[in-house]
Chain A
Amino acid sequence: MALLEVRDLRTGYGHVPVLHGVSFSVDEGETAVMLGLNGAGKTTCMLAVAGLLRRWGGEVLFDGRPVGKHQDSRAMTRLGVVLVPEGRHVFPGLSVQNNLRLGAWPVRRHPRKVKANTDRVFDVFPLLAERRHQLAGTLSGGEQQMLALGRGLMGSPRLLLIDEASLGLSPVLAQQVFQAARRINSEGVTVLMVEQNAGALSLADRALLMQKGRIAMEGSGADLMSESALRQAYLGAPA
Chain B
Amino acid sequence: MRFLIAGLFEGAVFGLLAVGLVLVYKGARVFNFAQGEFGTVAAFTVWALLGAGWPYPAAIVVGLLAAVVTGLIMERLVVRPLLDASRITLLVATVGFALFIIAITVLAAQPEPRSLQPLIGGEDRDILGAAVSPQRMVIALVLIGLAVALAWFFNRTNRGLAVLATSQDALATRAVGISVPGMSRFIWGFAALLGGIAGVLQAPIDIFYPGFMTRTSLVPAFTAAVLGGFTSLPGAFLGGELVGVVHSLGLHVLKDNWNVPGAGELTLFVLLLAVLLARPQGLLGKEA
B169 within 8 Å of A (CB atoms):
yes
A136 to B, closest residue via Cβ = B168
Q: Is the pair A89, B169 in contact by a Cβ cutoff of 8 Å?
A: yes
Provided the pairs A52-B171, A108-B158 are in contact, do residues A77 and B177 lie with their beta carbons within 8 angstroms?
A: yes
Q: How large is the interface on B (under 10, 10 to 19, 20 to 34, 35 or more residues)?
A: 10 to 19
B48 within 8 Å of A (CB atoms):
no
A161 to B, closest residue via Cβ = B175
Question: What sequence of 0s and 1s flags, for each residue 65-97 of chain A, a beta carbon within 8 Å of any chain B beta carbon?
Answer: 000000011101110001111000111111000
Question: What sequence of 0s and 1s flags, for each residue 143-180 of chain B, a beta carbon within 8 Å of any chain A beta carbon?
Answer: 00000000000000010011011001101111111110
A87 to B, closest residue via Cβ = B171
Min distance, Cβ A124 to any Cβ of chain B, angstroms: 18
Interface residues of B in 173-190 (CB under 8 A from A): 173-179
A106 CA / B158 CA spacing, docked (Å): 11
A106 CA / B173 CA spacing, docked (Å): 12
Q: Is the pair A89, B172 in contact by a Cβ cutoff of 8 Å?
A: yes
A102 within 8 Å of B (CB atoms):
yes
A204: B residues at CB distance < 8 A = none
Min distance, Cβ B204 to any Cβ of chain A, angstroms: 39
Q: How many A-B residue pairs have CB under 8 A?
A: 71
The secondary-structure label for the interface of chain B is helix
A142 within 8 Å of B (CB atoms):
no
B104: A residues at CB distance < 8 A = none
A151 within 8 Å of B (CB atoms):
yes
Q: How large is the interface on A (under 10, 10 to 19, 20 to 34, 35 or more residues)?
A: 20 to 34
A92: B residues at CB distance < 8 A = 168-169
A194 CA / B162 CA spacing, docked (Å): 28
Interface centre among B165, B172, B176 (most CB of A within 10 A): B176
A95 to B, closest residue via Cβ = B288
A196 CA / B158 CA spacing, docked (Å): 35
A221 within 8 Å of B (CB atoms):
no
B287 within 8 Å of A (CB atoms):
yes
The secondary-structure label for the interface of chain A is mixed
B161: A residues at CB distance < 8 A = 94, 98, 101-102
Q: Is the pair A73, B169 in contact by a Cβ cutoff of 8 Å?
A: no
B169: A residues at CB distance < 8 A = 89-92
Q: Is the pair B177, A74 in contact by a Cβ cutoff of 8 Å?
A: yes
Question: What sequence of 0s and 1s flags, for each residue 201-212 of chain A, a beta carbon within 8 Å of any chain B beta carbon?
Answer: 000000000000
Provided the pairs A102-B162, A108-B158 are in contact, do residues A94 and B176 lie with their beta carbons within 8 angstroms?
A: no
Interface centre among B161, B169, B172, B287 (most CB of A within 10 A): B172
Contact among A73, A103, A155 for B174, CB-based, below 8 A: A73
A83 CA / B179 CA spacing, docked (Å): 15
Q: Is the pair A52, B174 in contact by a Cβ cutoff of 8 Å?
A: yes
A6 within 8 Å of B (CB atoms):
no
Min distance, Cβ B2 to any Cβ of chain A, angstroms: 41
A178 within 8 Å of B (CB atoms):
no
Q: Is the pair B179, A74 in contact by a Cβ cutoff of 8 Å?
A: yes
Provided the pairs A94-B164, A94-B165 are in contact, do residues A89 and B171 lie with their beta carbons within 8 angstroms?
A: yes
Interface residues of A in 86-141 (CB under 8 A from B): 89-94, 98, 101-103, 105-106, 108, 135
Q: Is the pair A103, B165 in contact by a Cβ cutoff of 8 Å?
A: no
A81 to B, closest residue via Cβ = B177
Contact among A72, A77, A93 for B176, CB-based, below 8 A: A77
A50 within 8 Å of B (CB atoms):
yes
B164 to A, closest residue via Cβ = A94
Q: Is the pair B164, A52 in contact by a Cβ cutoff of 8 Å?
A: no
Q: Is the pair B175, A74 in contact by a Cβ cutoff of 8 Å?
A: no
A91 CA / B168 CA spacing, docked (Å): 6
Min distance, Cβ A75 to any Cβ of chain B, angstroms: 8
Q: Is the pair B287, A102 in contact by a Cβ cutoff of 8 Å?
A: no
Q: Is the pair B175, A83 in contact by a Cβ cutoff of 8 Å?
A: yes
Some 12 contacts from A to B, beta carbons below 8 A apart, are: A52-B171, A52-B174, A85-B175, A89-B169, A89-B175, A92-B169, A93-B164, A94-B161, A101-B161, A105-B158, A105-B178, A108-B158
Beyond A77-B176, A102-B161, list 19 extra A-B contacts (CB 8 Å): A72-B174, A74-B174, A74-B178, A90-B172, A91-B164, A91-B168, A91-B169, A91-B172, A93-B164, A94-B165, A94-B168, A94-B287, A101-B158, A101-B161, A103-B176, A105-B162, A106-B177, A151-B176, A155-B177
Interface of A toward B, CB cutoff 8 Å? 50, 52, 72-74, 76-78, 82-85, 89-94, 98, 101-103, 105-106, 108, 135, 151, 155
